[in-house]
């Protein structure tokens, strides 16, 4: 298994440009998430999905769109990049916990995409 | 609202000494608690989690964490630090009943182990 893969690893954009960060997982996980990591702020949840066709907003969704057409893929789109979106982006996947809270319940992270917006 | 606090930006420890990385949380009800580690230029890796049961949880690479409900803490510990343990450590919390991918992360603690 490749686990969670992300492309590209690095990207430089100009303000106003658009792009899509790709995320794929081969573990048949139902849940997928996008986080951004900024110095001194830890990881913040952008959007998440609990299954194909179902997405919802996290803590910092503004400026980002997502879709989940398949179980494997969860792309993150920046429609008009801004310097404030300069960050490292991580995708993660997990299986839902079993009844009673036990079960896998562990998120697996991709290697990240380092995005710079000039 | 859920929150996680890691009060130390950096922890310095000599190789062979015990280490503690602190974490306190605020969440309604009983939480699910996690520790993740991030090595340079890598994604986060799962270390351990507390779901229920024994308050002392053992995880990967010799790490353990103790859940203390009265102090709302979940400190990460290791009896003898290695230089290779140097990394960024994140504590995370999720409320019971919430989606398993709605974790709230702390700001991270950089662990530096000197040889």
Nearest of A118, A60, A52, A68 to residue A89 by alpha carbon? A60
- Mean pLDDT computed over every residue of chain A: 90
% of chain B surpassing 90 pLDDT? 67
| Pairwise CA distance, residues B83 & B16, whole Å | 9
Task: Kindly determine whether residue A107 and residue B32, on different chains, have CB atoms separated by under 8 Å.
Answer: no
Each residue's pLDDT, cut to its tens digit, for chain A (118 residues) gives: 779 999 999 999 999 999 999 999 998 888 999 999 998 888 999 999 989 999 999 989 999 999 999 999 999 999 999 999 999 999 999 887 554 444 456 788 999 999 999 9
Residue A62: both structure tokens together? 């503004």
> Which residues in A lie closer than 8 A to residue B107 (C-beta atoms)?
40-42
Q: Which residue has the higher pLDDT, B52 or A98?
A: B52
The DSSP element (H or E) to which B66 belongs, if any, is strand B64-68
Structural domain for B110, as ranges: 3-114
Q: How many domains in chain B?
A: 1
Other CB atoms closer than 10 Å to residue B94's CB: what's the count?
23
Tell me if B23 sits within 8 A of B73, measured CB to CB. yes
Residue B34 pLDDT more than 50?
yes
Alpha-helix runs per DSSP H in chain B: none
Reported as a single tens digit per residue, the pLDDT across B12-26 is 999 999 999 999 999
Nearest of A90, A29, A9 to residue B44 by alpha carbon? A90
Task: Kindly determine whether residue B99 and residue A102, on different chains, have CB atoms separated by under 8 Å.
Answer: no
Task: Kindly determine whether residue A105 and residue B49, on different chains, have CB atoms separated by under 8 Å.
Answer: yes
Q: What is the CATH number of the domain that holds B39?
A: 2.60.40.10
Query: How would you class B65 by CB atoms within 10 Å of its CB: exposed for 0-12, middle for 13-18, buried for 19 or more?
Result: buried
Residue B104: both structure tokens together? 């709230």
For residue A103, the model assigns a pLDDT of: 44
């Amino acid at each position: 298994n490749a686990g969670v893969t992300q492309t590209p690893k690095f990207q430089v954009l100009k303000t106003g440009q658009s792009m899509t960060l790709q995320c794929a997982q081969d573990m048949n996980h139902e849940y997928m998430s996008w986080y951004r990591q900024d110095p001194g702020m830890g990881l913040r949840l952008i959007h998440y999905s609990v299954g194909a066709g179902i997405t919802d907003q996290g803590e910092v969704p503004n400026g980002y769109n997502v879709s989940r057409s398949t179980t494997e893929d969860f792309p993150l789109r920046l429609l008009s990049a801004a310097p404030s979106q300069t960050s490292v982006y991580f995708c993660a996947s997990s299986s839902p916990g079993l009844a009673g809270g036990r079960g896998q319940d562990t998120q697996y992270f991709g290697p990240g995409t380092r995005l710079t917006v000039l | 609202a859920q929150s996680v606090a890691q009060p130390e930006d950096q922890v310095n420890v000599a190789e062979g000494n015990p280490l503690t990385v602190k974490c306190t949380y605020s969440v309604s009800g009983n939480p699910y608690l996690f520790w993740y580690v991030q090595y340079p230029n890598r994604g986060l890796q799962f270390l351990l989690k507390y779901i229920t049961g024994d308050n002392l949880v053992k995880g990967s690479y010799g790490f353990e964490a103790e859940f203390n409900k009265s102090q709302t803490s979940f400190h990460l510990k290791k009896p003898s630090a290695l230089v290779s343990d140097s990394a960024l450590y994140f504590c995370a919390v999720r409320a019971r009943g919430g989606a398993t991918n709605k974790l709230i992360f702390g700001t991270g603690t950089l662990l530096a182990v000197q040889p």
